[in-house]
C-alpha cells in the first residue's frame, strides 16, 4: 500500500513518559473521528483537536509508494546522530495506515517506534511504545498499552473507569482550549484530579511551551 503523510519533521517529543527525547514525528493524514472539514466540527467525536491532519501538504509531507520509501525519509530526517533512532507515529489516526510493512521497514532502518492513537482501531503488532488517548463518545477497542493519556476535562469520560484498563502509565493532560482563561481552568481541573488520585500523573505539552512543533 502507499502512505499519505501530512508532515514529517525532527523535533523533541513534547508529551507523556517519553517527553524530551529527540524524535522524528511522522504524522499520517486522515482521522476516523473527524473528517477535518470545519463544517463537520459540530458533529465530530473529537471536537477539541488541535492538529491539522488533512492532506499531504505539510513539511516533508506527501504520498510514499512503499514502506521502505517512508522509512528512508524518516531516516534522512534523523541524520547521522549516533543515538538510537526514535520515531513518533501519529495523526490524525495512525492505525488507519500503519501496517506491518511500515513497522518492519522502520525497524530495519534502526527506529524505535512510538505510536499515539485514539484506540478505536486495534494496534498494529510490533510497536515499541503505544500511547492511547481516548476520546469521549468513541468506542475504544485498544485497552492495553504503555501509556494512557487522557486529555482533561472531557464530558462523557469517567477517569476512574479507565484505571481498570491495562496500561503501565496513566497520564492526565490539560486540554488546550485555545483561550487563556479556559486553559487555566483545564490545568486546575487536571491538577485537582491528580492530587485526588495518585494513580494519575500530570503531563504537559512541553513542545508548545518551548515553541516547537
In CATH, what number is assigned to the domain containing residue 188?
3.20.20.70
- Dump pLDDT digits (tens) for 186-209: 999 999 999 999 999 999 998 888
With cut-offs at 50, 70 and 90, classify the pLDDT of residue 178.
Answer: confident
Given 25, 53, 167, 170, which residue is catalytic?
25
The residues with which 12 forms a beta bridge, in sequence order, are 22
Number of domains in the chain: 1
Instruction: Tell me: cis bond preceding 92? Omega within 30 of 0 counts.
Output: yes
Q: Is the pLDDT of residue 47 over 70?
A: no
Q: How many CA atoms lie within 13 A of 98 on its CB side?
A: 30
Q: Is 116 a catalytic residue?
A: yes
Q: Is the pLDDT of residue 42 over 70?
A: no
Q: Is 104 a catalytic residue?
A: no
Q: Is 46 a catalytic residue?
A: yes
Q: Is 59 a catalytic residue?
A: no
With cut-offs at 50, 70 and 90, classify the pLDDT of residue 49.
Answer: low
- The DSSP string of 25-89 is EEEES--SS--S-GGGGGG-S-TT-----SSS-STT-EEESSHHHHHHHHHHHHTT--SPEEEEE
Q: Is the pLDDT of residue 7 over 90?
A: yes
Given 7, 28, 46, 64, which residue is catalytic?
46
Distance CA 85, CA 55 (A): 26
| CA-closest candidate to residue 73, choices 57, 62, 84, 82 | 62
- Dump pLDDT digits (tens) for 88-127: 999 989 999 999 999 999 999 999 999 999 999 999 999 9
Residues in the chain: 213
Q: Which domain does 152 fall in, by range?
A: 3-210
* Averaged confidence pLDDT in the chain: 91
Amino acid at each position: 500500500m502507499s502512505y499519505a503523510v501530512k508532515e514529517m519533521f525532527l523535533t523533541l517529543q513534547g508529551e507523556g513518559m517519553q517527553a524530551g527525547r529527540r524524535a522524528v514525528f511522522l504524522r499520517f493524514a486522515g482521522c476516523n473521528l473527524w473528517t477535518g472539514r470545519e463544517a463537520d466540527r459540530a458533529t465530530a467525536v473529537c471536537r477539541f483537536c488541535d492538529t491539522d491532519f488533512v492532506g499531504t501538504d505539510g513539511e516533508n509531507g506527501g504520498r510514499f509508494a512503499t514502506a521502505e520509501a517512508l522509512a528512508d525519509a524518516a531516516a534522512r530526517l534523523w541524520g547521522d546522530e549516533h543515538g538510537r533512532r526514535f520515531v513518533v507515529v501519529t495523526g490524525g489516526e495512525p492505525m488507519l495506515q500503519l501496517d506491518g510493512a511500515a513497522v518492519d521497514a522502520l525497524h530495519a532502518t534502526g527506529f524505535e517506534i512510538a505510536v499515539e492513537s485514539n484506540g478505536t482501531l486495534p494496534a498494529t503488532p510490533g510497536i515499541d511504545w503505544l500511547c492511547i488517548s481516548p476520546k469521549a463518545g468513541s468506542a475504544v477497542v485498544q485497552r492495553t498499552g504503555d501509556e494512557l493519556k487522557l486529555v482533561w476535562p472531557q464530558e462523557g469520560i469517567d477517569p476512574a473507569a479507565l484505571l481498570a484498563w491495562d496500561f503501565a502509565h496513566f497520564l492526565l493532560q490539560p486540554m488546550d482550549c485555545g483561550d487563556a482563561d479556559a486553559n487555566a481552568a483545564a490545568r486546575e481541573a487536571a491538577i485537582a484530579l491528580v492530587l485526588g488520585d495518585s494513580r494519575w500523573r500530570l503531563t504537559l505539552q512541553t513542545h508548545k511551551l518551548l515553541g516547537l512543533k
